[in-house]
Each structure stands twice: as C-alpha cells, then as structure tokens.
Amino acid sequence: MTHETDVVVVGAGPVGLFAVFECGMVKLRCHVVDALDAVGGQCAALYPEKPIYDVPGHPAILAADLIARLEAQAAPFHPVMHLGRRMNGLERQGEVWRCTLSDGTDILAKAVIVAAGGGAFGPNRPPLDGIEGFEGQGPGRGVHYFVTRREDYRGRRVVIAGGGDSAVDWAISLAEVAASVAVVHRRPKFRAAPESEARLKALSESGAVELVVPYQLHGLEAAPGGALAAVTVATLEGQTRRLEADALLPFFGLASDLGPIAEWGLALERNTVAVDPATMATTTPGIFAAGDVCTYPGKLKLILSGFAEAARAAHSARAHTHPDEALHFEHSTTSGVPAA
C-alpha cells in the first residue's frame, strides 16, 4: 500500500508526538511510524510509572500521563499511525521522499522529521536457549524486559536478573505485590544507588526478597502449556539451583541502535544525526531531526529540549514544503486548534 502525506515522523516518542502537534499548527499532515506497538518511546517503554519533574508547567507528571496528554494534544490533527513497524528505507523519488516500512507499506512524503530517539532500541538479551519462545507482550509467557504495569505481577513468582538500578528498583517495588521476588546477580555488590541497595538488603533480611548471589542465569523451564515454570541459575563453579517462577525480568541494559537510519546518508556524529540547530535540518534537504536522535553544539538530551526542536523542525518542514509561501506566524492563543 502506498500513502501520500506532507510529513513522515519517524518515532512516536514524546518528541515525535509533539512534532505532530506542531506540524498540525502549520497545516502539515503527518504519518507517524514506530517500531514499538505503542506510542510513547522511552517514556512508555522504560519508565511509564516514574514521575518526571522537569517538564515545564508540570511540577511532577508520570511518564505515561505525559504521553497520554501529548497524544490528546496531537489528536485534533488526525495523524495516521503506523505502529509495530520499523521505517527501513528512505529514498528520494522526484520531489518527494519514499519511506518504506518493514511491512512493505510505502509513504510518499514532502518532508521527514526523524524523532527516533536512540534508534530502534531493544534489551540486551541473556544468552539462554529458547528464550525467544518465552518473550512477548502481556504477563502470559514469562520473560519481560520492561515492566509496563506493576499490577501484572500481583501474586506471581518473579525472578529478576541483574545488578543495576532497574533490577534493584523493580525488586523493591514488586516485593509489595508479587508472591515472591528473587534477585539473581553474579556478585554480592550491586551497581545501584546506595540507598536503593540498602533498601534491597533490608528486604532480603526481612525475607520479602531473596538474593540469589553469586549466581548467573543458566536455563529456562517451560510448563506443559509453554509458559515459564522455572529458571535455573548456576555459580561460576557450576553449582545449580532451580527457582520456580512465573516471570523472569532480565535487566541487563538496553542496546540502542540507529539501525536503518545510519544507512540514509545523513551526516552522523557519535551515533546521532547532526543538525543545524537554527532549522533542525540534517545534511539532506527535506529531512529534519529532533529529540534524542539529533545533535548540535550544546544539545541537552531532555524532553523539554526535544519539544522546542520539534517546533523548529515543523516550521522548517513547512518552509521546505511551501517554499513560495511566507508563513504568517500566530500564537496558539490566536489560532486555536481544531476540535479533536
């Protein structure tokens, strides 16, 4: 299927969503592509239930709530969402750009705003035989690299692997709802904030969390229906233990990879897309970048900077798509927004 639009926004993180709003305000229609099944980028995938304290006008806002508000703010402009699909190809075709998605969809766009964060990011997967068979959305199958809803773990036996902040913070949090929490780490010392480590040790002393150290993940065992039944762990000397489990949460960090974006011919600097901060233009005319994916002198990787960059990219995209029309700048208080 081939679509046509003014702008393709690559990435439905906070910056991509706000780019849709800003494009709408300058009368550009958008299609949005994201490899994840849901909008929200890092906020939704990595820390939906954490409060963010540095979004202007919100003394504290949960990451998931910020995303819901950004979605509502973009809704009046009716973006066409292509979720669960990666944008692989970007090719010039006459006056427009042909954007090719992983499901074979093509979108012809007059301009592209790359708001791809760290690129299509994914977890570092422990090297366990058959682990892919236990992965998937929802609590059912057993291996999850992100916690999207703490309630999904209520009454369940949880094994957490890793020694950093995510492992320690989620062990502390899930101990309040799970039937049991075991933390597997290869050494007694954790790499988490000292106060978090102290809380974890206190929970271990009270029996609310079991520290399984010094052990590493060794294997996974399936129940007859295929869901996770147990995790085996082993010491370096080969001594093994079997931990009955409904869920394994491996927290070994994320690997982000620009992936196909690195092949689009844009100038890159240390795995980010170089832009002119006055316009957010990349080195390729018609392609703009905003948010974590872009770099320029003084760049701050913060959501608030990404919002300003999205506004700038939208105005630049408008100048690119309508070169003969001067844009009459209006504040939103004057122009208003269409009804959703």
Q: Which residues bind ligand FAD (CB under 6 A)?
A: 10-16, 33-36, 41-43, 46-47, 52, 54, 86-87, 115-120, 259-261, 291-293, 301-304, 306
Q: Which is nearer to ligand FAD, 302 or 319 (CB)?
A: 302
Q: Which is nearer to ligand FAD, 8 or 243 (CB)?
A: 8
Q: Give dist(CA 147, CA 130) in Å, integer.
A: 21
Polymer length in residues for the chain: 340
Quote the tokens at residue 123: 């977890």
Q: Which is nearer to ligand FAD, 6 or 169 (CB)?
A: 169
Q: Give dist(CA 180, CA 154) in Å, integer.
A: 10
Is the distance from CB of 256 to CB of 117 less than 8 angstroms?
yes
- Minimal distance, residue 283 CB to ligand FAD, in Å: 18
Is the distance from CB of 128 to CB of 217 less than 8 angstroms?
yes
**Beta-carbon contacts of residue 90 (< 8 Å; ≥ 6 apart):** 97, 98, 99, 100, 112, 260, 264, 287
- Minimal distance, residue 3 CB to ligand FAD, in Å: 15
Is the distance from CB of 134 to CB of 248 less than 8 angstroms?
yes
- Minimal distance, residue 248 CB to ligand FAD, in Å: 21
Q: Which is nearer to ligand FAD, 167 or 245 (CB)?
A: 167
- Minimal distance, residue 97 CB to ligand FAD, in Å: 14
- Minimal distance, residue 10 CB to ligand FAD, in Å: 5
- Minimal distance, residue 213 CB to ligand FAD, in Å: 24
Q: Which is nearer to ligand FAD, 10 or 231 (CB)?
A: 10
Q: Give dist(CA 30, CA 332) in Å, integer.
A: 19
261 burial type by CB count under 10 A (0-12 exposed, 13-18 middle, 19+ buried): buried
Q: Which is nearer to ligand FAD, 233 or 249 (CB)?
A: 249
Q: Which residue is nearest to ligand FAD (CB)?
A: 117
